[in-house]
Structure 1
């Protein structure tokens, strides 16, 4: 499967039109419903396999953000052999009371994994929290970059964003 084929499959599975409010608070007339490609085990496995070359070689832990980043990080961890941390939006108030479950992050080079990035807001918040816990965070990797300022917002926080696909990749592949 080519990069364009993968983009077309994801577009077919996940692209919706209508009126949507994004996590950033922005309104959008198109939406990429990540759960539609994350729920397809064959498609998710292909996504993870294609993301492997984008993982920086000095990465020690993959950190998936709640909720959509969790299936992606699990699949990616399977392909890379790297341990995974599962990062909540807020630490739970019971049990371990941890923000990041799974692999230890303190003193380790951590790559944040997200499904779709628009403004980068959740990555900024989570990176700050992970850094407070001792993680070394300088990169983030997503499946789809909506190309709406997320990369720039992350760069301002010292985080380099890489993406498997962009919104333009998906639209171009669907137009063929």
Structure 2
């Protein structure tokens, strides 16, 4: 399957119009509902196949709560890399870990996210993981909303690779 075909499938499955408030606080009139493409097992598998070449050679994938987790699991299955599940904050009970599924100290982690707008959640998670001894220099996502995320992440020492930009997905709507 070509990149253009995959973009068209993601757009067809997840594009919504209306008024939406984003995590960054910005308002958008269109929205790509990540849960619609993440809940489709065939589409999620194809997304993981397309993301695999972007992973490089980390010690583990770090899927961010909630949307990055299914992508990290699917990508783990394709690449053979172990997955960690990174919470927005450590729970005050149980293991009290920020990341479930393994240790982070001394490991090179690749952040896996679904959609990036400003990059704020990635930056917060990267800082928390680094505080726990992880090495985090890269992140990948399915959709870059083209709202400053890559530049903000670069300032935090994180390089972002996106499977698609909003521009590319919008073009997929016309196919």
Return the alpha-carbon distance in structure 1 between the equivalents of residues 109 and 3 of structure 2: 26
Q: 1:14 aligns to what?
A: 14
In structure 2, how many angstroms separate the alpha carbons of the residues matched to 1:50 and 1:87? 22
Task: Report the count of equivalent residues.
Answer: 175
- Alpha-carbon distance between aligned partners in 1 of 2:33 and 2:149, rounded to the nearest angstrom: 18
Alignment map for 1:53-72 (pairs within 5 Å): 53-57=53-57, 59-72=58-71
Question: What residue number does 1:133 align with?
Answer: 132
- Give the whole-Å Cα distance in 2 for the aligned partners of 1:104 and 1:94: 17
Contact 1:63-1:87 at 8 Å conserved across structures: yes
Unaligned runs of 5+ in 1: none
Query: Is the contact made by 1:61 and 1:103 (CA closer than 8 Å) also made in structure 2?
Result: no
TM-score by length of 1: 0.98
Normalised TM-score (structure 2): 0.98
Which residue of 2 is the match for residue 118 of structure 1?
117
Indicate the residue corresponding to 1:36 in structure 2: 36
Pairing 1:1-176 to 2, within 5 Å after superposition: 1-57=1-57, 59-176=58-175
Aligned to 1:94, the other structure's residue is in SS state coil
Distance 2:98 2:108 in 1: 17
Counterparts of 2:83 and 2:130 in 1: how far apart (Å)?
Answer: 16
CA contact (8 A) 1:15 1:32 kept: yes
- Deviation, 1:103, is 2.3
**Structure 2 residues without counterparts, runs of 5 or longer:** none
